[in-house]
Amino acid sequence: MKREGFLTSNISSFTQALESIVITEDLCRAPGLFQGLDARVKVVTLLLFIILVSLAQDLRILLLVFLMAFLCIVLSKVPQAVFLKRLFIFIPVFTAVIAIPALFITPGEPLLSLAGRTVITQQGARTAGFLVMRVVDSLSLGLLLVLTTPWTKLLAALRWLRLPSLIVAVLGMTYRYIFLLLHTTNSMFLARRSRSIGGFSGSENRRWLGRAVVTAMVKSQYLSEEVYLAMLSRGYQGEVYTLVDFTMRHRDYLWLAFSAVTAITIIWCTYL
């Protein structure tokens, strides 16, 4: 059962990764609130909210920003399970590495004491709360953008914002290569399983996995050279052009107005 589980678990994980990408592309085309907004508007406003989150000095504001992001997820018809699963994959790791130590090393007024010794301070709990909520808000806003914006439109919006063309091209190729690498690796696992009658020992599985990794790297290197030569033969000179045509509509101006009012309110509550 363990030998079978090695291949089965790896095939399952790669397949789930491929399905996750497909699901994301489908969500970007759903008839929701954020899917109908201009990609430039979404990038600018959500980046503004992320900056405001990093400057906020009140946990209530951070909580309201998260609720706003979650409400936008619901109105955009993104399954809450998909959003929460991706959100809380990173939060426990971040909490264990950074937020939890802040509870014990930050000096201040005692909040929890054991044997007459301060264990957790009020300032430490507050610092940990700010760290966690800022990460939660930033990830929520980032997921809102990624789950409701097609990748080509997102890259075009970043280029419109004068992000260097080299960085945009690298991001675009990286996204495509991740999908291709997952598909290639999944096919290798399926091919091995379909041609295997008996089980394999742990050492045999490790040797095959090492060869599979090397093969995938060689294929990736060869394909990257072929793609670059194909791009050059088609006139590539450092700038990537797309057929995306941005058009501002009434809903975009309404969202800009709402974002401006919300930003001013957050700044007023933080500094005034």
Closest CA to 149 of 232, 78, 67: 78
pLDDT per residue as tens, the chain (272 positions): 444 455 556 666 666 666 666 667 778 888 888 998 999 999 999 999 999 998 888 889 999 999 999 999 999 998 888 888 888 877 767 676 777 777 777 777 777 777 666 677 878 888 888 888 898 999 999 999 988 998 888 988 988 888 888 888 888 888 777 777 777 777 777 777 777 776 667 777 778 778 877 887 888 888 888 888 888 888 877 777 777 778 899 999 999 999 999 999 988 887 76
The whole-model pTM stands at: 0.77
Alpha-carbon torsion angle 34, 38, 40, 45, nearest 10 = -40
d(CA 101, CA 131): 11
d(CA 233, CA 235): 6
